[in-house]
Amino acid sequence: MTTNLRNAVLVAGAIAAVAGCAGTGSSPEQSAAWDREAQEVMARSFRDQGIATVDRLKQDEVMAACSTHGQHIDDELRERIQAAAQADIKWPSDGNYLGDWKEGEKLAQSGRGMTWSDKADAPNGGNCYNCHRITKKEISYGTIGPSLYQYGKLHGNTETTQKYVWGKIWNPNAYTACTNMPRFGAHGILDEKQIRHLVALLLDPKSPVNAE
């Protein structure tokens, strides 16, 4: 999958089938023509700004498939995306999944990183609270993802859970193809050390996620 990622091709017929949802009787040829034109329009409508360069418009296979099908992908494609993502996960080099939950909380709070107003050398945040409830105290949380409050208490701080949470943060498509959650490890948004801190935030019994 990483190879596909790196050799990403520009969309290539990817945004097809979205048209199928419209249902207002357009022929497959017409629909394919609009797919192509959408790509051309995208290519003409953006410019680089800071670190956000136009090559970000290129899609890999996963983005293309998920743009086209959303959550309605068929079983075969789902299996393929999940298997490739699973194979793509880089496990911790020293076999240690748990870092410092306090650092994890800071990362979960930070929504910084990767926009055109961010600097290239500024550390990226995890954005986690944008989408998840995590601790009891923090009431400013989003709901795009499920609540992770008491995650360790509910699932246990076992090696199986640690591995799952690590893999989920590395590449969530390994478990849920076309999820709305970013591929933090696979896309180099967060590094090993940061992911360890986040696993600790969710699983360490002393973390406010589980202790409060």
Partner 1 sequence: MKGSRYAVCLATSALALMLPATPAGADETAEGIARYREALADGNPAELWEMQGEELWRTARGPKNGTLEKCDLGQGPGVVKGAFVGLPRYFADTGRVQDLESRLLTCMETLQGIPADEVAKTPFGKGEQKNIEALVAWISAESRGMKFNVPMQHPEERRMYEIGKRVFNYRSGPHDFGCVTCHGEDGKRIRLQDLPNLTKSADAARGFGAWPAYRVSSGELWSMQRRLNDCFRQQRFPYPLYGSEVTVALSTYLGVTANGAGESTAPAIKR
126 binds, among partner 1, ligand HEC, none (CB under 5 to 8 A by kind): ligand HEC
| 166, 68 contact by CB (below 8 A) | no
Question: In the bound complex, what is the minimum distance in angstroms from residue 32's beta carbon to partner 1?
Answer: 11
Q: CA angle at residue 100 from 94 to 103, to 5 degrees?
A: 120
**Phi and psi (nearest 5°) for 52?**
-90, 90
What six digits make up the tokens of 11? 């969309």
Question: In the bound complex, what is the minimum distance in angstroms from residue 212's beta carbon to partner 1?
Answer: 10
| Closer Cβ to partner 1, 77 or 114, answer by number | 114
Q: Which of 12, 18, 77, 211 binds partner 1 (CB under 8 A)?
A: 18
Task: Compute the distance between CA of residue 64 and CA of residue 200 in angstroms, rounded to an integer.
Answer: 33
**Ramachandran region of residue 185, left (φ > 0), alpha (ψ -120 to 50) or beta?**
alpha
Site for partner 1 in 44-63 (CB under 8 A): 44-49, 52-54, 56-59, 62-63
What six digits make up the tokens of 80? 């393929």
Q: Which residues bind partner 1 (CB under 8 A)?
A: 11, 15, 18-19, 22, 26, 31, 34-35, 37-38, 41-42, 44-49, 52-54, 56-59, 62-63, 66-68, 70, 114-117, 127, 129-131, 137-144, 180, 182-183, 187-189
